[in-house]
Structure 1
């Protein structure tokens, strides 16, 4: 089971790997590109001190990197500038790059995704689209339609359960079969009352998530249908607790839920 960097983004990649291992996680996602201009991210390109510290932590703990993030696909994005990110992801053994759809012109957005997927293919990377209610690609259906338009075999949907619920999605709808679009699932939980407006929705996603099993999301409706090879991670930022406690509580809650008899054992 993995854990997304947003859960403890204040930790450097090396620190995050060490803390994730102590909590019981076997894989991590790393924020190596800013989700918005000026936002926090980390430089672990090969030959940097950050890369040396990270790979040493990975060797000590056995924790692997599953995905690198986060790239908003905006109008006018400079795809060539992403080459170092792809190289870094490949050097770390990552399997996927996470992106969002932020271009209101469908044909141009699909072309951007297609070209990025073609760039990522030689590095062994899949490009996963994460939908969020406040972005252009705001629903599961939007993400699937974008993948269809881009028509690349190394693309997928990253299904964050909070975004599925807050975008009005039905947990019984996503195609979780081996041939479906969902390649990774991010777990958390949430209260029944949905935030009103984009600002409140963003705040909840970044600071107000609950650990799996502590809210009302019908997680087992989704988890019981997962293929064993689907990558499962946890994303539960919680500024009220120290990062190490945050990670430990998230791991305990997720493992308790995944250990139920009606839930298949996911890839770890």
Structure 2
């Protein structure tokens, strides 16, 4: 049995942000070698100037990418990242949703950044309805510097929207750093959990929250977040992936191997 086969016994995915410098094809190859089962991809920028990649629907690049996925026995689970702000228009990103569906993605990741709750709800519903036409789901993620800051706010919005394909994404750093309690989790709406870890006290200023999220995460188990408690609640109910951006001079493959091993150690310790 090969290293990769042994490491794929428990399904675990990895977010593109963990090695965003790798284009999709190389990311899939390295993620497969590291032992992951699936990947998330950045096909839309998370913020102005953020890196992302394009795989247009029906393109040669998309066709070649699907062939690569098959050859590596890998899947695309989710596509990032859509910020639902005051000027958000679902119609303007339909080509990305179509591209995501074309490569077999299952879910789209979003955050809410509009203080006008009624408008936010309306835009989120519209996005969910667009995704449903492509047989995809939409997950809303809380972030401390956005309008939807906490898990409870996120869950409330998902429930109010009433869309069958809407869910809440729990990213460990955003969940715990913004007051999330495992006891409050509604397992019926959480379909995806992203693992990472952190040390020290939670940052309070938005700029410090952003810096920690983008450059201060640790591999699962290397910090103090209550990941075992989180997984005991959700491991059998939600897809599990890892999101820890590569910082420093570590080779991407070595970084991904470490994330895979650390994530699986946490998962196996709960069995």
TM range (shorter): over 0.9
Which structure 2 residue ranges, 5 or more long, are not aligned?
1-11
C-alpha deviations, 1:193-246, integer Å up to 9, x for none?
222411111111111111111111111111112252410000011211221111
Alpha-carbon distance between aligned partners in 2 of 1:22 and 1:198, rounded to the nearest angstrom:
36
Aligned to 2:229: 221
Decide which of 251, 264, 267 is 1:258's aligned counterpart. 267
Q: Distance in 2 between matches of 1:54 and 1:127?
A: 23
Q: CA deviation at 1:49?
A: 4.6
Question: Is 1:27 matched with 2:38?
Answer: yes
Aligned partner of 1:9 among 8, 20, 25: 20
Q: Which of 42, 57, 67 is matched with 1:56 structurally?
A: 67
Partner of 2:105 in structure 1?
Answer: 94
- Counterpart of 2:185 (choices 174, 177, 188) is 174
Please give the per-residue CA displacement for 1:143-182, whole angstroms capped at 9, x wherever unaligned.
0111122111100000001001111222332122xxx211
> How far apart are the structure 1 equivalents of 2:52 and 2:112?
19
Secondary structure of 1:112's aligned partner: helix
Match of 2:247 in 1: 239
Give the structure-2-normalised TM-score. 0.92
- Unmatched tracts of structure 1, length 5 or more: 264-268
Whole-angstrom CA distance in 1 between matches of 2:179 and 2:236: 26
Do the aligned partners of 2:199 and 2:223 also contact (CA within 8 Å) in 1?
Answer: yes
Aligned to 2:215: 207
The alignment of Structure 1 onto Structure 2 pairs a total of residues equal to 259
Q: Contact (CA 8 Å) 2:58, 2:102: kept in 1 or not?
A: no
CA–CA distance in 2 between the matches of 1:77 and 1:193? 34
CA distance in 1, matches of 2:130, 2:108: 11
Report the CA distance between 1:30 and its aligned residue.
0.3
Q: Verify: 1:84 aligned to 2:95, yes or no.
A: yes
Partner SS, residue 153 of structure 2: helix
Contact 1:172 1:222 in 2 (8 A): no
1:89 Cα deviation from its structure 2 partner = 1.4
Correspondence 1:105-254 to 2 at 5 A: 105-176=116-187, 180-226=188-234, 228-240=236-248, 241-254=250-263
Dislocated runs of 4+, deviation >3 Å: 47-50
Summarize deviations over 1:45-98 as a string: whole Å, max 9, x none.
Answer: 134353244223212101100001100001121221111111111111111000
- Separation in 2, partners of 1:188, 1:94: 22
Does structure 2 conserve the Cα–Cα contact (< 8 Å) formed by 1:237 and 1:246?
no
